[in-house]
Structure 1
Amino acid sequence: MPANERATDMHTLDERIAYRVRMRDYDEWRAKVHAVNGCARPIRLGGAHQLQDAASGQVLHHHGGDIFVPCGNRRESVCPSCSDRYAADAFHLVRAGLIGGHKGVPEHVTDRPRAFVTLTAPSFGPVHHARTSPRGKRIPCGCGEYHLDADPRVGTPLDPDTYDYTGSVLWQAHAGVLWQRFATRLRREIAKRAGLKAREFAEQARLSYGKVAEYQRRGLVHFHAVVRLDGPDGAADPAPAWAHPDLLEDAVYAAAGAAYATSALPDGTPLVLTWGDQVDVRRIEPLGSAELEDNAGRISEARLAAYIAKYATKGTGKSEAADRPIRSERDIAHLRVSDHHRRIIQTAWDLGALEPYDELNLRRWAHMLAFRGHFLTKSRAYSTTFKDIRGDRRRFRLEETLERLGLADRADTVAVVNNWTFDGAGYSDDAERELAAAIACRIRDDRKHKYSKENDHGQQAA
């Protein structure tokens, strides 16, 4: 944005917004913001790009100047726009592994034994809860009160002084390792139930999964996972004859109960890390219902992908952890988090200074309450990849550009040459940030309205 001396003399945000809208370059600026879907802190680049004939080098199109590029942050609290895009990509990744028919996954994956698995953290001390009975009545908390779901005390310890913060941080730091131990154990449990030796499992079957981590109110993650039993070559290979949903379900419970990781307390006391008692396994059925599950508790694949994708960004909001890595211990006191989460962060920071925990790099991950893993991960053969999904998007946009320029017939011979330099990040002032936020909100509302209409038409057709 050009230097704006008059805007600095304006006292209210409304005045600065009105002035920015009246500026001659506003339409051009708005188009740039719209191109990044109202990104909260876009990367500003200056330079040019060209479309050239790959064989002759002839310049077919040239564009110079400055552009905005999305920041790409998946955290909803940092950038709702880029978070939406990440969630959409996650939806397509999970959906491809659920129903097949696109992204290189065959349709017959719906015939495989599949389960929706939830693994939780163990207890590190009693916390406030907002539970209800099967009849819908509120159950009193251990403190003697009845809490509503929105009560900020829910998930916090009844007695912070006796809550095992050290154990919870070490469990959280090993959660990714614990999942890998579970997956390894699950293969062995499946093999045992199929009458196979552990080393023979890979010759007859493959375990495919996509999982997402979600923060609980107490600050610990639990995992939701779609688990699928394929043939040895993955999605394209039918599952063996012995593969059955009941076998998979039984093996999951056994593996969850047997998997463990080890660590040690600061005084050297050995620490065994396991999953919590709440393990849930639901069979996935190709239901046509718009609901997540039917009356029998079976999970519908029609809604499950969106349900999982939601947690790919939900688990990184301000209510669970800080938005950015912590650089100094002094920053911890100023974080906008609950006292309970602040104490988790402080514990992770303190443990990070101890040599036995060097490999955990706890200070780097203190802002994530010591969780060191990715929020969405999958096995290699489950479905497509984020890289492929984003590559498809780039190709689609290139095809749109070529068609607009009348070069659609030369798509196979065009080379894109970029020459951009970094000019900065974010907007110039609060007026631009407010306008960008309004544009982002409008784009999201339009998208939700469009999807709602498509879903309504789909349900009517069904």
Structure 2
Amino acid sequence: MSTLLTLHRPSPAAGRDAQALHRAATPDFFGWLEHTRAAAGCTRPIRLTGTLTAVEPDTGRMLGERHTDELPDRTLYKACGNRRAAQCPDCAWVYAGDAFQVVRCGLTGGKTVPTTIAAHPVVFATLTAPSFGAVHHRHIPRHTCTGRRRCDCRPAPCHARRAPGTCPHGQAVACFARHDSDDPQLGRPLCLDCYDHDHQAVWNYFSGELWRRTKQAIERHLTALCRRRGIGHVQAVTDSGKVRRVPPVRVSHGKVAEMQRRGAVHFHVLLRLDGVNPHDRHALVPPPAGITADDLDAAIHAAAQQITVTTPSHPDRPQGWSIAWGEQVDVRRIGNGDGDVTDGKVAAYLAKYATKSTEVTGHCSTRLTPDTVDAYADPEGDHLARLIDACWRLGRPTHTPTSNTAAPTGGRQGDLDSKPNPYAGLRRWGHMLGYGGHFLTKARRYSVTFGHLRDIRATYRRTEHDDTITVGVLAFTGSGWLTDGDALLANTAAAQHRERQRVGREELAHETWSEVAA
């Protein structure tokens, strides 16, 4: 009688637990935890080596020097700083906090922004992409729920028609389903062959240029309105000392791009009316008394209806594509009270979407290359595969004659003269379905910058325990934790630290409320 021996391969979880136990058994475990605290919750921290020098801030005198070889793991850990929650939740949580402060300070002031801007007229506008073909959608004609967060209202049929038929490709043009909010069919075309994937990819690519021209049209509309109402230009002094006549009103904005389920971006924009100080053009002063939020509302609608961008010629479409906004343009007032649209709710809403990208569409990848694009692009595949294929195909080297009709997202008008194909960036941003802009941008005068907030946080960390400043001369050696066990321990410690902070904030808020109530 023979004996059958079965060999079991250790599971990854077992190996990770063994690595965590080995790390926890080392004598300097708690020192290692403290050493990794700055990057504890990061998915793939940056590993640095070099020297760290302690400097006295007042005199600049060097107090001591230390090499990273003396630290645990002989390296210094730094958080990756990725804004995308799907890539690194902890760094995205920090980014969302910074985004909240950037947006909120532009509404209420604070952090070098004067609090007087809280009295400036502000509106919250949503600009969407046009239709590129019928898609499955969820529409609730009338809400009867008390709160939208837990909405249980019954949606209307998706695409109900009295005479159901088929499209030229034999697909049904009607859909009587009442889709749930998590239905994977939402955003998918009723007919893939009828849908204009090329136009949508190009629209995503040139949407930044469309917004730039729309912003200019809004300011021109307000300038003409001031002229009609007898509000003259202001004689302002420039940085060079020259005197220029400038319009008496200007618009400062904060903008967040959100990817819809169909793969087209739309913009949520906060627009604030500011005036001009003739003696200090950088000062934030109220707009003229004759210009109100109603005028800003009318300017946004007028600009959204009038502005279009005709893209340069392409071999697949010599006349180019027309880039314009969709019919849905929503403009709401921002209030400081307890209404549906308050500054705090809007700031939290925009900060949430600043950490997202294409995850809502079901696609999430890094930058595509000729070696990896075939795994995602397919001209006969599903909706996302055809969008990526359109980006890759239209962005091919075609040596198209350049045109000064429009500039791609993030480029200047003259950049087109040196590019053989003005659509070449579509390949670079194929993993973003053609959109190459940043997901949170703002006007220079709107609020503080992310760099300013990061500098404040870095300064606090350098001087948290003493009165010295740490200066590092460091070099990159790699990314990621050394073992899966280290990642488990560091991320668990970071999660516990965030939970203690959350509980502490709730207790502090409860004590403050109790004192006010008493």
Q: TM-score, normalised by structure 2?
A: 0.77
Cα deviation for residue 178 of structure 1 reads 0.7
Cα deviation for residue 252 of structure 1 reads 0.9
Residues 38-77 of structure 1 mapped to structure 2, 5 A cutoff:
38-53=41-56, 58-65=61-68, 66-77=75-86
Cα deviation for residue 29 of structure 1 reads 3.1
Relative to its length, the structure with more helix (as a share) is 1
- In structure 2, what is the Cα distance between the partners aligned to 1:401 and 1:33? 16
Q: 1:54 to 1:391 in 2, by over 3 A?
A: closer
Secondary structure of 2:136's counterpart equals coil
Matched, 1:342 2:392: no
Partner of 1:382: 446
Partner of 2:220: 188
Secondary structure of 1:151's counterpart equals coil
Tell me how many residue pairs correspond in the alignment.
435
Partner of 1:369: 433
- In structure 2, what is the Cα distance between the partners aligned to 1:235 and 1:220? 37
Contact 2:261 2:360 in 1 (8 A): no
Secondary structure of 1:363's counterpart equals helix
Secondary structure of 2:36's counterpart equals helix
Cα deviation, 1:370-412, whole Å, max 9, x if unaligned, reads: 101011111111011111111111222223132xxxxx3xxxx
**2:156 aligned to 122, 131, 139, which one?**
139
Cα deviation for residue 38 of structure 1 reads 1.3
Cα deviation for residue 320 of structure 1 reads 4.9
Partner of 2:308: 260
Cα deviation for residue 212 of structure 1 reads 0.6
Secondary structure of 1:138's counterpart equals coil
Matched, 1:95 2:104: yes
Partner of 1:351: 394
Matched, 1:280 2:334: no
Contact 1:43 1:71 in 2 (8 A): yes
Partner of 1:110: 118
Paired-residue identity, % = 36
Partner of 1:405: none
- In structure 1, what is the Cα distance between the partners aligned to 2:141 and 2:128? 21
Task: Give the unaligned 5+ runs of structure 2.
Answer: 1-9, 69-74, 144-152, 160-174, 235-245, 401-420
Secondary structure of 1:362's counterpart equals helix
- In structure 2, what is the Cα distance between the partners aligned to 1:10 and 1:440? 20
Q: 1:331 to 1:166 in 2, by over 3 A?
A: closer
Contact 2:53 2:66 in 1 (8 A): yes
Partner of 2:414: none
Cα deviation for residue 8 of structure 1 reads 11
**1:221 aligned to 256, 265, 289, which one?**
265
The code of the aligned residue for 1:309 comes to: A
Partner of 2:351: 309
The code of the aligned residue for 2:303 comes to: A
Cα deviation for residue 342 of structure 1 reads 2.6
Cα deviation, 1:81-107, whole Å, max 9, x if unaligned, reads: 11111111111111111001x122111
Cα deviation for residue 341 of structure 1 reads 2.0
Cα deviation, 1:176-205, whole Å, max 9, x if unaligned, reads: 101101100000111222235999584311
Decide which moves more: 117-126 or 56-65.
56-65
- In structure 1, what is the Cα distance between the partners aligned to 2:12 and 2:121? 67
Q: 1:9 to 1:242 in 2, by over 3 A?
A: closer
Partner of 2:488: 434
Contact 1:234 1:382 in 2 (8 A): no
- In structure 2, what is the Cα distance between the partners aligned to 1:397 and 1:12? 34
Partner of 1:27: 30
Contact 2:222 2:249 in 1 (8 A): no
Decide which moves more: 361-370 or 421-430.
421-430
Contact 1:249 1:281 in 2 (8 A): yes
Residues 102-251 of structure 1 mapped to structure 2, 5 A cutoff:
102-135=110-143, 136-142=153-159, 143-195=175-227, 200=233, 202-232=246-276, 233=281, 236-251=284-299
- In structure 2, what is the Cα distance between the partners aligned to 1:252 and 1:57? 52
Contact 1:113 1:243 in 2 (8 A): no
Q: 1:333 to 1:154 in 2, by over 3 A?
A: same
- In structure 2, what is the Cα distance between the partners aligned to 1:49 and 1:373? 36
Contact 2:54 2:62 in 1 (8 A): yes
**1:86 aligned to 69, 81, 95, which one?**
95
Task: Give the unaligned 5+ runs of structure 1.
Answer: 1-6, 403-407, 409-413
Matched, 1:15 2:18: yes
Q: Which has the higher Rg, Structure 1 or Structure 2?
A: 2
Q: 1:11 to 1:269 in 2, by over 3 A?
A: same
The code of the aligned residue for 1:424 comes to: G
Contact 1:77 1:323 in 2 (8 A): no
- In structure 2, what is the Cα distance between the partners aligned to 1:370 and 1:269? 20
Runs of 4 or more consecutive aligned structure 1 residues displaced over 6 Å after TM superposition: 7-10, 54-57
Q: CA RMSD in A?
A: 2.8
Contact 2:103 2:254 in 1 (8 A): yes
Cα deviation for residue 50 of structure 1 reads 1.2
Matched, 1:445 2:499: yes
Q: 1:445 to 1:127 in 2, by over 3 A?
A: farther
Contact 1:206 1:231 in 2 (8 A): yes
Q: 1:124 to 1:72 in 2, by over 3 A?
A: same
Contact 2:19 2:483 in 1 (8 A): no
- In structure 2, what is the Cα distance between the partners aligned to 1:95 and 1:235? 19
Cα deviation for residue 347 of structure 1 reads 1.3
Q: TM-score, normalised by structure 1?
A: 0.86
